[in-house]
């Protein structure tokens, strides 16, 4: 390892130890490493930071952030929860399934894990507490289930990955995330099922079904499901508009993000009227601040990625991994283990930008052994790395969903950790299934050929 890389790694770890914001820590570590190399540090770092965000695909991020905020504030979460309740709320431990399914549905329209924790958790956690569900279980469930919103499209982190991997179709990534996202959601529901068998999750929510005969009760139940679906229909339609428009060629992913904002604005302000015009400046300010943070992370990470590439670190890391073993199963296990560790101390955006160039060449070698094309490998690895890093959102010390969940649920990380462990194991099991079974990621994109981004 060269002296420049040593300076980079040591200074970055020091920044983390001092609790310096991750974007600032990456930028300062890169700056110090360039100084050590004797270059014009200020110019080089500023140039790489600016070039890092100079991508048309990244223009979709602020639009999806804004549409997610409008969805969260505009009453969509309540309507999706009501729909989930009539579908699964009547099972034993029904509110746990309602919570999970609502997070999956809300994630599919908002694309934000943080928004799901705050929006869904804000009313589901107190309701589950009131019905006698264990408090820490409720928070752990919401925190982990919310991450499915980053796997199921639309998803900002998929756009970031497409930039990091280079020439990867955003539309193909969106399609590839559908089945894996449902797999993760099903794994979380399995934990709820096993817990409900112990009998400490409370009873299901009794549906107000009426009728003197069996068929009358069936018709009554079908009517409840139908009404719940109609209430949630306009919210769910956003996914159809975004994905359908991209696949049909009507617009690109970036244009779809702008259309998502217009549609979310219409629902939140005009149709549901749950967002007042006087609230819009605050929502726009929040979207702008969030976008600034994301873009700073992207720019700073681009600078570090350039420095690592100039020192041939991706090639050296690939050779080291391939020297560890030639067996695909062992290599994939090593990559997942490393990414799980990375996810505990690094935010998703810089992790994707920094580690995609390092691990993707190894994945390409594995893909050759499996008979996959380079494009298929890039899509599959995108879902693997995103699913992996979603687990990091629920782990200390930098898990954003973990902190939001503790705040909403009014608990501490120490009390929450035991309740999180079964969900961690379920998510890791789902991750391994997604990793070793590429068909889960590639089946849906295969139905549509190779969609353009």
| pLDDT tens-digit readout, 37-57 | 777 777 888 888 888 888 888
Whether 452 maps to a domain, the answer reads no
Question: 134-143 burial, b if ≥16 CB within 10 A, otherwise e?
Answer: bbbbbbbbbb
Using pLDDT thresholds of 50, 70 and 90, give the confidence band for residue 451. very low
- From residue 101, how far is each of 64, 234, 260, 407, 412 by CA, in Å? 21, 17, 22, 22, 25
By mean pLDDT, which of 104-108, 373-377, 417-421 is the weakest?
104-108
Q: Is 249 left (phi over 0), alpha (psi -120 to 50) or beta?
A: left
Same domain, 45 and 103: no
Q: Do 184 and 166 lie in a common domain?
A: yes
304 occurs within a structural domain: yes
At residue 209, the pLDDT reads: 56
Residue 211 predicted with pLDDT over 80 = no
User: Does residue 443 fall inside a structural domain?
Assistant: yes
Pick from 425, 433, 440, 432: nearest CA to 394:
425
Domain boundary among 35, 52, 69: 52
Query: CB–CB of 105/79 below 8 Å?
Result: no
Q: Is pLDDT at 199 greater than 90 in this prediction? A: no
Query: Residue 197's pLDDT is what?
Result: 83
The stretch 424-435 carries a mean pLDDT of 96
Half-sphere exposure of 230 (CA within 13 A, CB side): 6
Q: Is residue 347 part of a domain?
A: yes
Answer yes or no: do 357 and 423 share one domain: yes
Estimate to the nearest angstrom the gap between the alpha carbon of 173 and the chain centroid: 13
Structure-block tokens of residue 140: 């752990």
Lowest mean pLDDT among 8-17, 81-90, 225-234, 328-337: 81-90
CA angle, residues 46, 51, 56, in degrees to nearest 5: 150
What average pLDDT does range 429-443 have in this prediction?
94
Name the percent of the chain in helix, strand, coil, to the closest 5: 80, 0, 20
Boundary of a domain, candidates 52, 68, 92? 52
**Do 46 and 134 fall within a single domain?**
no
Average pLDDT, the chain: 86
Q: What is the spatial distance between Cα 99 and Cα 152, in angstroms, rounded to a whole number?
A: 16
**Residues 45 and 62 placed together within one structural domain of the fold:** no
- 36 shares its domain with 67: no
Task: Note down the domain range covering 25.
Answer: 1-52
Residues 46 and 57 in one domain: no
Q: Which residues contact 431 (CB under 8 A, 6 or more apart)?
A: 184, 336, 384, 387, 388, 391
Is 126 a member of any domain? Answer: yes
Instruction: Report the domain count for the chain.
Output: 2
At residue 319, the pLDDT reads 82
Is 452 a residue whose pLDDT tops 50? Answer: no
Residue 282 located in a structural domain: yes
- Percentage of the residues of the chain whose pLDDT score is greater than 70: 94
Domain for residue 453, yes or no? no
Does 398 lie in the same domain as 378?
yes
**Is there a domain that residue 146 lies in?**
yes
Mean pLDDT of 270-281: 92
- With residue 76 as reference, give the H or E element that holds it: helix 76-88
Residue 210 has pLDDT above 60, yes or no: no
Mean pLDDT of 422-438: 95
Shared-domain flag, residues 28 and 153:
no
Q: Has residue 181 got a pLDDT over 90?
A: yes
Whether residue 103 is found in the same domain as residue 214 = yes
Same-domain pairing of 271 and 300: yes
**Given phi > 0 = left and psi -120 to 50 = alpha, else beta, which region is 199?**
left
- 201 and 215 both lie in a single domain: yes
pLDDT band at 177 (very low <50, low <70, confident <90, very high): very high
Task: Decide if 151 contacts 386 (C-beta within 8 A).
Answer: yes
């Amino acid at each position: 390892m060269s002296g420049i890389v040593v300076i980079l790694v040591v200074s970055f770890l020091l920044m983390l130890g001092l609790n310096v914001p991750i974007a600032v820590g990456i930028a300062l570590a890169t700056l110090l490493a360039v100084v050590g190399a004797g270059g014009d540090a200020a110019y080089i770092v500023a140039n790489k930071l600016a070039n890092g965000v100079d991508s048309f695909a990244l223009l979709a991020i602020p639009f999806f952030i804004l549409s997610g905020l409008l969805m969260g504030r505009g009453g969509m979460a309540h309507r999706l929860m009501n729909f989930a309740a009539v579908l699964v709320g009547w099972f034993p431990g029904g509110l746990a399934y309602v919570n999970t399914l609502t997070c999956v549905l809300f994630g599919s329209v908002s694309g934000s894990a943080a928004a799901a924790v705050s929006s869904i958790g804000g009313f589901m956690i107190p309701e589950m507490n009131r019905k006698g569900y264990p408090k820490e279980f409720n928070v752990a469930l919401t925190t982990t289930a919310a991450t499915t919103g980053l796997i199921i499209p639309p998803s900002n982190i998929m756009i970031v990955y497409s930039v990091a991997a280079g020439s990867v179709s955003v539309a193909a990534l969106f399609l590839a995330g559908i089945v894996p996202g449902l797999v993760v959601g099903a794994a979380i529901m399995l934990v709820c099922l096993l817990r409900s068998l112990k009998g400490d999750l409370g009873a299901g929510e009794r549906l107000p079904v009426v009728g003197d005969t069996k068929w009358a009760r069936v018709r009554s139940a079908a009517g409840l499901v139908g009404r719940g679906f109609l209430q949630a229909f306009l919210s769910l339609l956003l996914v159809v508009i975004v994905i359908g428009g991209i696949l049909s060629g009507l617009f690109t992913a970036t244009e779809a993000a702008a259309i998502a904002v217009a549609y979310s604005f219409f629902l939140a302000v005009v149709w549901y009227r749950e967002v007042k015009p006087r609230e819009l400046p605050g929502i726009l300010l929040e979207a702008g601040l969030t976008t600034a943070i994301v873009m700073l992370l992207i720019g700073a990470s681009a600078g570090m990625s350039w420095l690592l590439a100039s020192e041939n670190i991706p090639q050296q890391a690939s050779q080291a991994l391939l020297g560890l073993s030639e067996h695909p199963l062992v290599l994939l296990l090593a990559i997942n283990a490393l990414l799980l560790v990375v996810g505990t101390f690094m935010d998703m955006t810089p992790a994707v930008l920094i580690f995609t160039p390092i691990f993707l060449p190894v994945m390409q070698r594995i893909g050759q052994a499996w008979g996959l094309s380079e494009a298929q490998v890039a899509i599959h690895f995108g879902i693997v790395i995103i699913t992996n890093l979603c687990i990091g959102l629920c782990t200390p010390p930098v898990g954003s969903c973990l902190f939001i969940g503790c705040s909403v649920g009014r608990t501490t990380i120490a009390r929450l950790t035991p309740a999180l462990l079964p969900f961690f194991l379920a998510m890791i099991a789902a991750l391994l299934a997604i990793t070793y079974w590429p068909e889960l990621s590639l089946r849906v994109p295969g139905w549509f050929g190779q969609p353009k981004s």
